[in-house]
Each structure stands twice: as structure tokens, then as C-alpha cells.
């Protein structure tokens, strides 16, 4: 059921978004470093690595520059047009191809880079033994302003480990325990709401028994 929903939604989204993809690809090709897509290693189902597909928004060598795999608000590595794509979350849309290829789902835990994955404990990692990572999810909605949150910390890694890791772990374990088509539909609706109305948080309206922070 979940895979069928993924295929239907991703094919529908691709048909609708193709006219949007084309001008974005043209702009990226002729601005910044000329890169259109960015492929990066992430940890997926069964804790196996795969390549995530995103629109290029940062300098190609960003993982090796100051900041590493953690991105903060107004990060100097972000390209001018890339900033717009990240704020609107449009940079995430090419992950539709990951869903079609079967390495991701529409809804699930956000796929992490190996270095960030290592910041999490076994409680989080075991979620990926049974659930594919997703384009959106409960953790993604809760930390939609993650870059702004991290930008106010002196030690970004410590802040991530102490404030974000425990909360994301609780949310993704909740999702793992309630995975299903109806849960996915509610997460997708919740995602649309927070993208259009960032100040609204209806997480507990959609999921009254969601773990508290």
C-alpha cells in the first residue's frame, strides 16, 4: 500500500512539476557554478548508503568547507538562487526521482549524511531497519526551521546533538510505530500547511498523541 501510494503521488507530482523544473534547471545551469543537480551520499533503508538527488544550492565542495554536513541560516556556502530554492523547499523536489527508483518514500525519516547519522543513537538507527527515508516526515515538519535554529549556536554540532537528535529520534520512532497510508496522507497535508503557513504548527491537531518535546 505504501509503495503504491508513493508511485501514484510521485508520478502525479512529476507530471505537475515538470514545467517548473525546466526553468529552474536553466537558471541553475547559467548561474552559480553551473551545476543543476547535486548528488550526495545519504543513509537509507537497512542503513545502506544511496545517492540523494537535489537541485544544486551550495558550492560543490561544501561538505569539505567550514560547516561540514550541517547547514545554518545565511550559510556563506549557499548560492544566491540556492537560497530561494532552500527557503521554499523547491530544492528537495528532485527527490521524486529517488521515490520512483525505490530508494526513498514520500514520507519517512529525513535521510542523513553518514557523518550526521553517526550523531544519532541506536534508537534512531533501528528505525531505518524497516522504514525508508522520506522527502518529508514528522521530523522534517518539526524542524522546518532547523537552519535558523542552528545559526544561533556557537557549537553547531553540539546543538544538533543535544537539541535536535533526541526530538527527531522520538518523532521518527513514533512514525515507525504508526506507519501507514493514512499517517502518510496526514503528514503530507501537514507539510503543505507549514510550507504555505510557516507560523502554523498543527502537528498535535493531526497527531494528538505525538511525543511532547
Q: What is the pLDDT of residue 79?
A: 85
Side-chain half-sphere CA neighbours of 123 within 13 A: 11
Residue 30: φ, ψ to 5°: -110, 15
Query: What average pLDDT does the structure give for the chain?
Result: 90
C-alpha 72/C-alpha 147 separation (Å) is: 4
pLDDT at 7: 94
Residue 61 pLDDT > 80: no
Q: How far is 7 from 137, CA to CA, in rounded Å?
A: 17
H helices of the chain, in order, are: 2-29, 80-87, 95-101, 114-117, 122-125, 138-142, 146-151, 156-159, 165-177, 181-196, 203-206
| Predicted confidence (pLDDT) per residue in 138-169, tens digit | 999 998 877 777 877 778 888 889 889 999 99
Q: What is the pTM of this model?
A: 0.87
Label residue 127 by pLDDT band (50, 70, 90).
very high
Amino acid at each position: 500500500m505504501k509503495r503504491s501510494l508513493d508511485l501514484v503521488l510521485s508520478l502525479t507530482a512529476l507530471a505537475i512539476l515538470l514545467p517548473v523544473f525546466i526553468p529552474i534547471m536553466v537558471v541553475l545551469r547559467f548561474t552559480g557554478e553551473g551545476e543543476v543537480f547535486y548528488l550526495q551520499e545519504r543513509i537509507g533503508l537497512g542503513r545502506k548508503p544511496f545517492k540523494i538527488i537535489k537541485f544544486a544550492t551550495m558550492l560543490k565542495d561544501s561538505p569539505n568547507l567550514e560547516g561540514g554536513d550541517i547547514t545554518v541560516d545565511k550559510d556563506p556556502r549557499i548560492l544566491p538562487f540556492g537560497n530561494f530554492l532552500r527557503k521554499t523547499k523547491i530544492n528537495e523536489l528532485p527527490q521524486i526521482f529517488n521515490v520512483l527508483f525505490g530508494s526513498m518514500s514520500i514520507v519517512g525519516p529525513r535521510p542523513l549524511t553518514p557523518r550526521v547519522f553517526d550523531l544519532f543513537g541506536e534508537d534512531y538507527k533501528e528505525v531505518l531497519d524497516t522504514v525508508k527515508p522520506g522527502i518529508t516526515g514528522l521530523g522534517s515538519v518539526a524542524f522546518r526551521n532547523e537552519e535558523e535554529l542552528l545559526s544561533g549556536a556557537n557549537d553547531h554540532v553540539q546543538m544538533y546533538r543535544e537539541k535536535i537528535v533526541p526530538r527527531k529520534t522520538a518523532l521518527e520512532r513514533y512514525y515507525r510505530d504508526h506507519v501507514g497510508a493514512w499517517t502518510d496522507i496526514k503528514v503530507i497535508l501537514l507539510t503543505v500547511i507549514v510550507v504555505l503557513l510557516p507560523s502554523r504548527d498543527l502537528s498535535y491537531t493531526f497527531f494528538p498523541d505525538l511525543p511532547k518535546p
